[in-house]
Amino acid sequence: MPGAWTDELHALALVGAGGAAGSAARHLFGFLLRLGGLPAAQTHLSTLAINASGSLLAGWLLRQFGPVNSAMFLFWGLGFCGGFTTFSSYSREFVMLLREERLAEAVAYLLLSVGLGVGGFVAGWAVAGKGA
């Protein structure tokens, strides 16, 4: 049993470090887009890009470095991609679009977020398998 705790603490450290790096990268990405002129009313587009690219990367990483409990996937897949992508920001932005009565944009955001997220993961998985 002591080995299980040591292994779990090691996994926790990898996921936590990767998550911190991913969260910082998400914030930097959003900042750079705002700096580049992304209007405040369109910040949900940065979240869409982040979630789609993070899902693509996660699919690629799982195929390259799986299983899920490998050190590479714990840090990069669960940690970095988990910190980089954000369901909470997506949810908040979707609700704000609804509250601002931007219904068509909200529905498009909902469909694109799910489609690009899942599609990105599948695409990443497929691309990683081409060289195998």
Considering the chain, what is the average pLDDT of its residues? 93
The yes-or-no verdict on residue 66 having pLDDT over 60 is yes
Question: pLDDT confidence of 2, banded at 50, 70, 90?
Answer: low
Please give the pLDDT value at position 3. Answer: 74
Query: pTM score, two decimals?
Result: 0.87
Averaged pLDDT, 70-86: 94
Rounded distance between C-alpha atoms, residue 83 and residue 24, angstroms: 8
The yes-or-no verdict on residue 25 having pLDDT over 80 is yes
The yes-or-no verdict on residue 109 having pLDDT over 70 is yes
Q: Concatenate the DSSP letters of all residues of the chain into one string.
A: -HHHHHHHHHHHHHHHHHHHHHHHHHHHHHHHHHHTT--GGGTHHHHHHHHHHHHHHHHHHHHHH-STTSHHIIIIIIIIIHHHS-HHHHHHHHHHHHHTT-HHHHHHHHHHHHHHHHHHHHHHHHHHHHT-
The yes-or-no verdict on residue 15 having pLDDT over 60 is yes
Please give the pLDDT value at position 45. Answer: 94
